Structure 1
Amino acid sequence: MTMATRFIENKSQDCLRTKAAKVALVQVLETLTPTSVIGIGTGATVEVFVKLLAESNATFSHCVSSSERSSKALEVAGLVTKPIAESSSLDFYIDGIDEGLNNGVTVKGGGAALAREKVLATQASTFITIADDSRLVEKLGIFPLPIEILPAAKSSVVHTLKTMGGVPKEREGCVTDNGNIILDVSGLDMMKPKQLELHLNSMPGVVENGIFAYRSADLMVFSNAEGSYCLFEK
């Protein structure tokens, strides 16, 4: 993916999440139609987007949520939703990131919804990420990589990850909406994210990992104290 940068001056006192979410909303509203379907990720940043979307009174078909947490946020906002199990295609998917490269490759899963998030991102015609610019990194691996696994496979997967140089740690008190557990793994070589994404998902017991390389972002919105900027595909 070839990316270009577009700066958007916004020196308001909005928090960084709001600045990024407002820019993403503008991008969505430009092509939104009454039949559009919007996928919603998980986390505090995307919940700001949900609130702004509801306040915009935009006309579209419905939202599809990646988690029970986001479903509750959509319900509170009064937006129409349909279950992810009934979804096969989206016009937009909006989500935060834990870290990302300027080519659209990201790591997600801090909210423990990475498996459903990847389903929705893959279904979407346009995948938009929103974050403050501390999440934009030169190389992946600063944020431990979340991997969702079957509980029965914990010992096997941990052993395999250690042979790869990884340092896996089970996320305490975390059970995903799918009934699984999360391993947060540091120390892995992430210089080739596509290959690593595929390799991790080939391990028996692994449900999904948090590398979004095969389905990278089409538009990345970052904010800082000076405003917001977009990294987008040419």
Structure 2
Amino acid sequence: MGLVIDKADGKSKRLSLLWITILLNFAILGYYKYAGFFIDIYADITGQTIEWEAVPLPIGISFYTFQAVSYIIDVYRRDVKAQRSLIDLSLFISLFPQLVAGPIVRYQTIAEQIKQRFVASSDLMIGTRRFIQGLGKKVLIANPMGSVADEVFAISAADLTTGTAWVGIIAYSLQIYFDFSGYSDMAIGLARIFGFNFEENFNYPYIAQSITEFWRRWHISLSSWFRDYVYFPLGGSR
């Protein structure tokens, strides 16, 4: 579809093709992630019994949907040239290191690396170290903090003390940060081993001094995606 949009004449035609592609991508995402949810709601409201076999959720569907949409929008804006190779485009959309937990990679970031990349011994060392760092965050910090948070959250409200509640809050905050940033570190490390340079996804969000600053530091690839493809196009201030 990127090639079709790139070759289309007239802004209105290109815009129509863009919207069709975006809606199709998000319709597929919505079907896999929310079809069962809405069917259950409909069944509860109407009292009908609806036989529904759960559809297996494709791994990483959210991330490659966001990446595919950003690619189409960039082609529409003429920020990048449409990729003529289906293999190269598929490689970009389904690049495995970041499919499970990000970061969201934009086509223009790795377009040249898809065509040609070189893996030096330093890349292997840096990538391996970064992967181990992320694995350590996940296994040594996130998982134990998750166990602590689960134990606290299992306590009834009547028996929960202020101190214990704070322990649960802090443990859960550490769990979600080190879990998510750990996965991002592993993805960045794996990508480096294969010759790809992904952008950073977390920048010490818990030292932020405002909600705005926190948003800029937390899951940077997602927040910047919404900024560039949703907020600014809707008239948001730059």
Q: TM-score per shorter chain, which class?
A: under 0.3
The structure that is strand-richer by fraction is 1
The TM-score, its normalising length taken from structure 1, stands at: 0.26
The TM-score, its normalising length taken from structure 2, stands at: 0.26
The structure that is helix-richer by fraction is 2
Which of the two has higher C-alpha Rg?
2
